Amino acid sequence: MTALQLGESFVGEGVNAAHINTVFGDREGPAGSAWAGALASPSAGHVPFVAVLAPSLPVKPFTLFVTKSAPADDAHGNHIWGPAQAGVAAGVADAVADGVIAETEVDSTVIIAAVWVNPGADDADTIYRNNRTATRTALRNGATQVPALGDVLAARAHPRNPFYTPETTAEEPE
């Protein structure tokens, strides 16, 4: 049985950046239960769907694309369903080609990809490239248990992200 793997990756800058969270594991385990439950339980603005490389050609392992934000308008929806979805599917296929996911596991495992596409995104090719790289990286990070605990502990006194950096940070706990 494949251990549950959790991955994360942020790639790019500005409105076309990609932020991906992945859950990878056995169809018969918690990942499979979560995958089926999420597919069967859409909510307003959040309709999980199977990522495809082409119409009627789903990527393997079967990957559930879950949006982190409801489509703000038609253009935003097109960026979610188009380049972001294609990037996620290609990134999963890359992870299989790279050996991050064993070919022998593609029919017994599933992936959930939680995907952020900024409503202001404006460059389809950059959205695609960033989501492809972020998905491939998130799956690799999950397989290798990145980040290392030392990196987490070293960064705790100076948290930051692309949307916020505190002016001052708390003293490190004693």
Catalytic amino acids? 19
Q: Which residues pair with 112 in a beta bridge?
A: 23, 64
Strands 62-67 and 57-58: unpaired
How many Å apart are CA 139 and CA 95, to the nearest integer? 7
Instruction: Please list the alpha-helical segments (H only) found in the chain.
Output: 30-39, 74-79, 85-97, 124-144, 149-155
Q: At what angle do helices 124-144 and 85-97 cross, to 10 degrees?
A: 40
